[in-house]
Structure 1
């Protein structure tokens, strides 16, 4: 994850400019500067959820092939402050030209039920609220109209049509979600213990049905049953340990 911080936190256009400058001067200075800029954009707060948000980015882009088109890290004015909006916006376009906007949400909690409940209650307003200036997604949509980070021609065209309110194709959009929940799982060995990876996998698959039930119940409670939502479940030895390890890996907390 640490090695992907520039991919996550720096807009593609800015990274492309840095690479072009380095190629021109046969240097790595511009790209190295972006690494430091990206690192400084992360908070050092012990309660940070940015590790989960970055992991959601990696899973969405690499496994779902959904490019991030709006990153909250580039919008922060203070490294210790959190941007109030979705944990990133991702996008895709169908063969028929329908734009699919995926609002991202990540929660890393000790309890699986709390992680699922808080994740979907945070995601729900971006999907279910009626169109209008007071909708939760409106701020992100305004930012998208100006700051969308695009590299795919088909996606660029679909997004331009969406924001052209004079176009009859501007309503060809579908709001979706992509979510990640991390939580403590008791099938990992205790500190200093060992386990066979296959046994951990088997235990996780056994627990999966329970997680699916909790997700289904919460989807119904939030009236999200009819929305397309990609959901990642991340059982962890320790949610607190994940946050601590992330801060250390980022150089935001001293090794101890």
Structure 2
């Protein structure tokens, strides 16, 4: 499934500095990763540049992989860029202009899932929206991998970008928990997404997609070979970024984040216990930023949606 992962992973390093990865919490099946914003040669952090980088990847995020490849093939045939350009505008139209949008966090989760963890997205909520002013009720994307012995690991995605780290952790895990620990039945939180996966999953290869969909066929024994996992991202205000006009030092920011990690991990451990998620495989991204509100504003502005 690595063949369908999109984008250049090295491009992440231009905008996000890896501080820690694969941190474990005793008694939990979790790997925690921390990224901070990078510092440029003038000692500045640039959330606007991160937002513009995210904008450049919206087609990868919001358009099914088969449609994107068909557009690329058409452009190559006719020596044009119009087909992919049309998809870019279609993708833009799917994003909301609401000031409290969480779609920036959802897209940042996508970029880290695919480019950092090499977990391909197999269901994107943006392709399912019928109204750009409405939020899709379901997971913030679904990602997948297959183990060597044929077990499908299905990662339900959830992201929260809040000013307060405690609230971000609490709300993120509370939203993720039903997708993992509810029993399988027609009224479960994940049921709608499972139905969509059986119908709309797109691995950009008809044979591979057909094999993948077997995992969601209740008449197939393959449906017993699915393991539910979680992938989550929290963005939150961090006071260790310097104020405007004061030069930032990348090493100082990284060290401050490492010092704060102990508190974040303790909070995570508590909330994992409250939500009864200890036994589930979780990938968890912590992305401290200068301002959650500023991040949302920068994302909307980059997309041309800020009123």
Q: Is this a same-fold pair by TM over 0.5?
A: yes
- Count of matched residue positions in the alignment of Structure 1 and Structure 2: 254
Q: Displacement of 1:105 after TM fit? A: 0.1
Is contact 2:109-2:232 (8 Å) kept? yes
Aligned partner of residue 169 in structure 1, secondary structure: helix
Q: Which runs of 5+ in 2 are unaligned?
A: 1-53
Q: TM-score under structure 1 normalisation?
A: 0.96
Aligned partner of residue 170 in structure 1, secondary structure: helix
The answer to whether residue 225 in structure 2 is matched with residue 225 in structure 1 is no
Q: Displacement of 1:79 after TM fit? A: 0.9
Question: Structure 1's 22 and 155: CA in aligned 2 closer, same or farther, altered over 3 A?
Answer: closer
Name 1:20's counterpart in structure 2.
73
Name 2:105's counterpart in structure 1.
52
Name 2:213's counterpart in structure 1.
160
Q: Displacement of 1:135 after TM fit? A: 0.3
Cα distance between partner residues in 2 of 1:217 and 1:152: 42
Among candidates 227, 247, 252, match of residue 199 of structure 1: 252
State how 1:83-232 maps to structure 2 within 5 Å.
83-151=136-204, 156=209, 159-232=212-285
RMSD: 1.4
Q: TM-score under structure 2 normalisation?
A: 0.80
Q: Which runs of 5+ in 1 are unaligned?
A: none
Cα distance between partner residues in 1 of 2:260 and 2:135: 33
Is contact 1:97-1:158 (8 Å) kept? no
State how 1:2-81 maps to structure 2 within 5 Å.
2-81=55-134
Cα distance between partner residues in 1 of 2:204 and 2:242: 43
Q: Displacement of 1:209 after TM fit? A: 1.1
Q: Displacement of 1:168 after TM fit? A: 2.5
Q: Displacement of 1:163 after TM fit? A: 2.3
Cα distance between partner residues in 2 of 1:111 and 1:181: 10
Aligned partner of residue 218 in structure 2, secondary structure: coil
Task: Identify the structure with bigger relative contact order (alpha carbons < 8 Å, sequence gap 6+).
Answer: 2
Is contact 1:99-1:155 (8 Å) kept? no
Is contact 1:93-1:158 (8 Å) kept? no
